[in-house]
Structure 1
């Protein structure tokens, strides 16, 4: 039996099967985190939670479409009294779900050097990765009154020990894999060969990987898994291929993706028979000026319109929202 490893692409036998009546579904996973300078160096301090109050409006917006967001919170958020004020009630009522997002540079214990490599939690020594994880999990349970069953490593930074750590902690789902992206240039994982179908990372331990959904679009999309990574040194050529409608990589996120592109991606993900479409974005985008994706109020209006269009189209295509407990209940072992 091979060691459970989130960095390894799945084998066909590892793919998760769901009950026929589960159909194709979608989730909305939100990276709920502190506000920091995306262009500056990582730091333990020099951040704020100014965007956090914006979650209340976004929660109401999602409820209007019958969507229960999965809030993947990191330590600065989990330990903030304001987070409890905003999230405790919808979590208790089942109108939202909670998960863990580990940003190691702002998560105690603070014993490692802050640098790019160590920003990927999976690169840390096992005992330190586990200690940070446990501190965050316990803080979430104490302050937000809910037990998380889903995890995402900040910056998608899983490592060789992460899967065993999650299995030992009875986490049901990891959602750290950003399918078809590569972060190895500065020490992160390489997910170029990871697909969009959920798979068992540790079947015995009950740990499923639910990757973020990314598709290839264009005339050459069948060659996307091979051609797009080969052009990593030629970003202008990638841009030209996308402009010509030949090949484009599209993640299901409003950050850097137009709503027209997103609707194309939804169609392709459905055609590729992805059981669960995994949408995501960063909560600071709800406050203009906090991320590169939302600079002003017009951008924020566009973000909400993006979600409105996607939720409407998903309903039109018969793709219903799912909750973590529904996903696990539909699994066929």
Structure 2
């Protein structure tokens, strides 16, 4: 633990009220007498957090609502000393008496913050002893509450300073372990002892609750936690407190805002909230709407700086800083707004909004919002429905969104109606029920969750697939030329379509008919569009859509490697982008797309169901054997290698890219391993060992020789896979398009490898070239 300040601990000891002793420690309870606890109704969930009210903040609100609305299921353990100040939390006794659920408190759950600069060795030793005392108090309290309430599950509300408690509950008390996460403790790199062990704590948990998909994806990619262990329970809103109503005239008069168009913002004045960019945007807003006034509620380190900015920009008369507002007055202040704006952004150190509860609270008051797209805010705000999402770093974009809402009555009315509906769908009652339902599913079979399959499970061979003659499908990602190592929305080029056409004609001469999956920018390029139309009209291939999330409008998500994986986007944003690329396809080709490949192979079962809504019948996304978690993606090591049906009524045929694991060293060693594999003892154990000394390889002419592609195909056909899917990029078919075609002649060499491999496939295996639609029709007929 971090060292504690002994002088602060002495202060805490002096302010500690009288408590009934718990061994050598102190445990307080809202019950009038300890005997009441013994007779109390049993609770199966113990919620442990030092961030319970009267602490003010997002996580405190979450835990209060979760516990309050599950009062017959949850008992809570918290602290009554503020770890930062060392003083008693004001109002904790009143809260405990009125919260409606049993809550017990000990002095501290985490150490006090060491203050006063460098500490002497003696002081550090004393602090360490105090930390040990706190740890003993915590573990004793957890043990006693688990026993007295017959607790089955322990939920830890603070990952970094509470994860160690979870290990004790899991391994010593043998309780189910749930850890609740919010995002900022994941996205920022910590250097402390416990920060470096976040992955250990989370992997020990039976269930991890994430408040947003953003938070979940961060846990997967940064801390290597299995996706199936993490469930999203989004933050909710108290629609009893936050509700529509008239503007309070007395408050308007108090703030001097009678007759003004009010832009409201609220929160701790720290950089990631975007108050600075909001103020920078105000001159442009005022130029269009002279009676606009910005009211910024809250306090924090940047408040003086923000005031100085307003003075410097000459808009001090249009900005007010009331400072801290009591909890009971927040809803009334929110009702003053004509629009709520908090253009949050992600900081260079990863500090960001895990969700953005304040947006839901504004929505519940009937206020449309303007948000940034940092962190999980894109999940709290439904762009175009409950508000507008903009780049929180861009004052011009912020100003434009505010002016649009304030100046367009029709838009403001539509967003107001949408805001109320979004809030109604996200009440705390619904979220609290979702929390206990998720915990119950885990508690009923924790080992099943721990052993759950990957997002796309291994599925038995599709009926009919094994009866097909060997079939080769060549897929081409018809995309821009760009730096694969850096996600950039503008740094791309569309290369030589003439060279691609030349390769296509070579393919046609040898009976190779590819499927081109085209990105938004390629569909919008006139020359590329003419080529694709020619492919369809001449019957020499098929065309589908390929969603590059970062270059497909609308641009309302953070530009990051994580968001480049299609399945990481919030569902409403992915739908908007799918509509953009499908609309471009319809405009250019005059038909509906039926074939899809996800950007960065980012697919899961939920996304398969989504693309079905757009009329997609065939998906080419899945890349078996690959683990993309380090890049922000998903783990497909155990995903299906055979064709399979998915979606509603099994309406989508999934054709995975053919892949094989290769041992380090020569291909001869890999061949020998697969030859000996059927005769090896303990095959499962050997496979796990060899996995550590091997890498997956896709069937592609990019970086592979024809001989290696032939070897891969031979092995795959021996396993019974009759549908072989090869893949490459269109940028490999012209010089300088990507890393595989830098050198003169390399693009033509790739084309030649495709032709040579296809001819070998037909000659040696009696195989046939196939298109996705052909395979779909054949397998569908066999199923019928």
Q: CA–CA distance in 2 between the matches of 1:195 and 1:205? A: 15
- The counterpart of 2:732, out of the listed 285, 297, 301, is 285
Q: CA–CA distance in 2 between the matches of 1:20 and 1:8? A: 21
Give 1:219's aligned residue: 672
CA distances 1:184-225 after superposition (whole Å, capped 9, x unpaired): 112201111124211122361411211000124433344686
Alignment check: 8 A CA contact 1:287 1:294 kept: yes
- The counterpart of 2:692, out of the listed 209, 230, 234, is 230
- Structure 1 consecutive aligned stretches of length 4 or more whose deviation exceeds 4 Å: 222-225
- The counterpart of 2:501, out of the listed 34, 56, 64, is 56
TM-score by length of 2: 0.38
CA distances 1:108-137 after superposition (whole Å, capped 9, x unpaired): 111001001100111111011111011101
Give 1:124's aligned residue: 569
Higher RCO structure (Cα 8 Å, ≥6 apart) = 1
Alignment check: 8 A CA contact 1:122 1:157 kept: yes
Give 2:607's aligned residue: 162
Give 1:32's aligned residue: 478
Q: CA–CA distance in 2 between the matches of 1:103 and 1:63? A: 28
Secondary structure of the corresponding residue to residue 544 of structure 2: strand
Shift of 1:274: 1.1
CA distances 1:133-156 after superposition (whole Å, capped 9, x unpaired): 111011112112343211111110
Alignment check: 8 A CA contact 1:256 1:293 kept: yes
Residue correspondences, number: 311
Q: CA–CA distance in 2 between the matches of 1:73 and 1:20? A: 30
Alignment check: 8 A CA contact 1:105 1:119 kept: yes
Q: CA–CA distance in 2 between the matches of 1:225 and 1:188? A: 24
Secondary structure of the corresponding residue to residue 314 of structure 1: helix
Call closer, same or farther: CA 1:116–1:160 in 2, change over 3 Å. farther
Give 2:628's aligned residue: 183
Question: When you count helix as a share of all residues, which structure comes out higher?
Answer: 2
Shift of 1:229: 4.0
Q: CA–CA distance in 2 between the matches of 1:318 and 1:71? A: 25
Q: CA–CA distance in 2 between the matches of 1:28 and 1:97? A: 10
Gaps of 5+ in 1: 232-237, 239-247
Q: How does 1:243-282 map to 2 (within 5 A)?
A: 249-282=696-729
Call closer, same or farther: CA 1:19–1:252 in 2, change over 3 Å. closer
Q: CA–CA distance in 2 between the matches of 1:52 and 1:227? A: 45
Does residue 67 (structure 1) correspond to residue 520 (structure 2)? The answer is no
Call closer, same or farther: CA 1:206–1:134 in 2, change over 3 Å. same
How much is the aligned-residue C-alpha RMSD, in angstroms?
Answer: 2.1
Does residue 199 (structure 1) correspond to residue 644 (structure 2)? The answer is yes
Q: CA–CA distance in 1 between the matches of 2:563 and 2:653? A: 25
Q: How does 1:310-325 map to 2 (within 5 A)?
A: 310-316=757-763, 317-325=765-773
Work out which of the two has the higher radius of gyration on C-alpha atoms and give 1 or 2: 2
CA distances 1:47-94 after superposition (whole Å, capped 9, x unpaired): 110233322112111111122210000111011111122121221232
Q: CA–CA distance in 2 between the matches of 1:130 and 1:139? A: 14
Call closer, same or farther: CA 1:249–1:119 in 2, change over 3 Å. closer
Which piece of structure 1 moves more, 213-222 or 169-178? 213-222
Call closer, same or farther: CA 1:11–1:308 in 2, change over 3 Å. closer
Alignment check: 8 A CA contact 1:288 1:300 kept: yes
Shift of 1:266: 1.5
Secondary structure of the corresponding residue to residue 476 of structure 2: strand
Secondary structure of the corresponding residue to residue 294 of structure 1: coil
